[in-house]
Homo-oligomer: A and B are copies of this chain.
């Protein structure tokens, strides 16, 4: 079973398209969580995972937040690896990419050391910067295509001489490179019209969609553009909107509620479950 099929199964089994982003910023962990830096990050993650596990099919850890806490962040990430439910996909949101020799090292780090089921990578350096990740056939490789931020206009949206914007060429290349069925792409929820066009040229590529919640992407438009029959599955990610739903002692319950609401909101749009 290739990655796209595995992802479809986990979404069906969990009845959810939601991915919870554990962008755990030490400064935003509620005071109710006590201990040293490493303990607080791990305890916060554990509490959020426990209350959201029933409503999500995937978790995404953004490496930036763990690296920003130094050695203790790295410790906390490793400890958190033990808390994820076995039936959920773990995505390491690392946006890595380097010459082949170095990308092979990043792939080893993400898939062998951290044991992730999927990773995000940056396409700027081209095929040989992504290929070492692709060699892990059962893992998912989500390549940045059109990102949710304003800066996506600077290069991704520039029109090429051969016609069409750069991000469409990235989408085409991802499709071409998908010989193992393990390629995915990242398209921000802030671009629902573009998401629709991307879906047309790459119907078989799973899409990770961040930008709902704090980044103000439109949920209904995004779901209609991203999720549909005869298409590879899409994951809708929310990070800050779920994990910082409350800064009080009820933070974990509040996160669970927000996660269930997002699951139900998505499922209502497409009459799923």
- A residues near B (Cβ < 8 Å) are 23, 25, 62, 64-65, 67-68, 70-71, 74-75, 78, 95-103, 105-106, 108-109, 113, 122-130, 144, 147-156, 158-163, 166, 169-170, 173, 215
Instruction: Note all chain B residues with C-beta closer than 8 A to A62.
Output: 98, 102, 105
Closest approach, in angstroms, between the C-beta of A210 and any C-beta of chain B? Answer: 8
Given contacts A122-B124, A125-B144, contact A166 B161 (CB under 8 A): no
Given contacts A67-B109, A71-B74, A161-B161, contact A150 B166 (CB under 8 A): no
Cα A124 to Cα B167 in complex, Å, equals 10
Question: In the bound complex, do residue A149 and residue B129 qualify as a contact, i.e. CB atoms below 8 Å apart?
Answer: yes
Question: In the bound complex, do residue B68 and residue A108 qualify as a contact, i.e. CB atoms below 8 Å apart?
Answer: yes
Cα A160 to Cα B157 in complex, Å, equals 11
Which residue of B is nearest A188, CB measured?
A: B99
Closest approach, in angstroms, between the C-beta of A243 and any C-beta of chain B? Answer: 13
Closest approach, in angstroms, between the C-beta of A143 and any C-beta of chain B? Answer: 10
Question: In the bound complex, do residue A109 and residue B151 qualify as a contact, i.e. CB atoms below 8 Å apart?
Answer: no
Question: In the bound complex, do residue A109 and residue B68 qualify as a contact, i.e. CB atoms below 8 Å apart?
Answer: yes
Cα A64 to Cα B105 in complex, Å, equals 5
Question: In the bound complex, do residue B128 and residue A150 qualify as a contact, i.e. CB atoms below 8 Å apart?
Answer: yes
Question: In the bound complex, do residue A105 and residue B155 qualify as a contact, i.e. CB atoms below 8 Å apart?
Answer: no
Instruction: Note all chain B residues with C-beta closer than 8 A to A101.
Output: 23
Instruction: Note all chain B residues with C-beta closer than 8 A to A122.
Output: 95, 97, 122, 124-125
Known: A99-B151, A124-B155. 15 other contacts (CB 8 A): A64-B109, A65-B105, A68-B105, A68-B108, A70-B113, A99-B215, A123-B124, A126-B155, A127-B154, A129-B151, A155-B170, A155-B173, A158-B162, A158-B169, A159-B160
Cα A205 to Cα B46 in complex, Å, equals 46
Given contacts A74-B71, A124-B124, contact A99 B147 (CB under 8 A): yes
Between A23, A151, A166, A215, the greatest number of chain B beta carbons within 10 A of the residue's beta carbon is seen for A151
Question: In the bound complex, do residue A149 and residue B100 qualify as a contact, i.e. CB atoms below 8 Å apart?
Answer: yes
Cα A144 to Cα B129 in complex, Å, equals 13
Cα A151 to Cα B128 in complex, Å, equals 5
Which residue of B is nearest A128, CB measured?
A: B151
Instruction: Note all chain B residues with C-beta closer than 8 A to A113.
Output: 67-68, 70
Given contacts A98-B64, A158-B166, contact A126 B109 (CB under 8 A): no
